[in-house]
């Protein structure tokens, strides 16, 4: 009887431990943590949010009103974050989250306003594509729009 009680206690403790230490983030929490690292200029954490080869694209209009699509590697983005001067302040304010999750794939869309040194620089929408690898969401693709118009 003592062995049965001991076994039950161990099972309850193991199960309780597993539930209280679950660190799996949702797609929304992954994007939120990405922006926390972004604002802190924490390049080590930023690297961990994406898979190798992740592409970033940005859509904007040039001076003549033509649509412009620029592409960069995620690693170049991380390096650029590290190069922002310490005296500069920047903040990307997210206005809402739109999330579609289907098994191993998720899309998180976030309208935003970007401020540099306290001044509105531009606004737009981010669209994150995430894939779940070993119970962890990773960014595989990020595209955003950038405009200076209608940023209210």
Domain-located, residue 151: no
Q: Is residue 20 a part of any domain in this protein?
A: no
Q: Which two tokens stand for residue 90?
A: 């920047």
Distance CA(82)–CA(19), nearest Å, equals 36
Nearest partner of 128 among 110, 148, 150, judged by Cα = 110
Task: Give the global pTM.
Answer: 0.82
Domain range for 96 is 25-145
CATH of the domain at 107: 3.10.450.50
Q: Give domain status of residue 50, yes or no.
A: yes
Does residue 86 lie within any of the structural domains? yes
Domain assignment of residue 54, yes or no:
yes
Classify residue 117: in a domain, yes or no: yes
pLDDT by residue for the chain (152 residues), tens digit each?
444 443 334 333 434 433 333 468 999 999 999 999 999 999 999 999 999 999 999 999 999 999 999 999 999 999 999 999 989 999 999 999 999 999 999 999 999 999 999 999 999 999 999 999 999 999 999 999 999 999 97
Asked if residue 110 belongs to a domain, the reply is yes
Structural domain count of the chain: 1
pLDDT at 1: 43
The helix or strand, by DSSP H or E, that contains position 105, with its residue range, turns out to be strand 105-116
Q: What is the pLDDT of residue 86?
A: 85
Contacts of 65 (CB under 8 A, 6+ apart): none
CA 23/CA 45 separation, integer angstroms: 15
Residue 16 lies in a domain: no
What's the pLDDT score for residue 22? Answer: 40
CB 110 within 8 A of CB 126: yes
Pair 147, 122: CB distance under 8 Å: yes
Distance CA 116, CA 2 (A): 66
Q: What is the pLDDT of residue 23?
A: 66
What does the pLDDT read at residue 152?
75
The alpha carbon torsion through 143, 102, 50, 120 (nearest 10 deg) reads 40
| Cα end-to-end span (Å), the chain | 69
């Amino acid at each position: 009887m003592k062995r049965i009680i001991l076994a039950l206690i161990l099972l309850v403790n193991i199960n309780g431990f597993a539930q209280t230490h679950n660190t799996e983030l949702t797609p929304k929490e992954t994007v939120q943590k990405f922006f926390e690292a972004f604002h802190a200029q924490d390049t080590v954490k930023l690297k961990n949010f994406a898979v190798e080869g992740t592409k970033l694209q940005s859509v904007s209009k040039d001076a003549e009103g033509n649509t412009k699509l620029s592409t960069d590697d995620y690693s170049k983005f991380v390096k650029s974050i590290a190069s922002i001067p310490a005296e500069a302040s920047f903040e990307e304010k997210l206005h809402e989250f739109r999330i579609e999750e289907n098994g191993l794939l998720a899309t998180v869309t976030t309208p935003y306003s970007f401020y540099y040194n306290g001044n509105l620089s531009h606004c737009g929408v981010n669209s994150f594509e995430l894939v779940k690898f070993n119970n962890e969401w990773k960014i595989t693709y990020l595209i955003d729009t950038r405009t200076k118009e209608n940023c209210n």
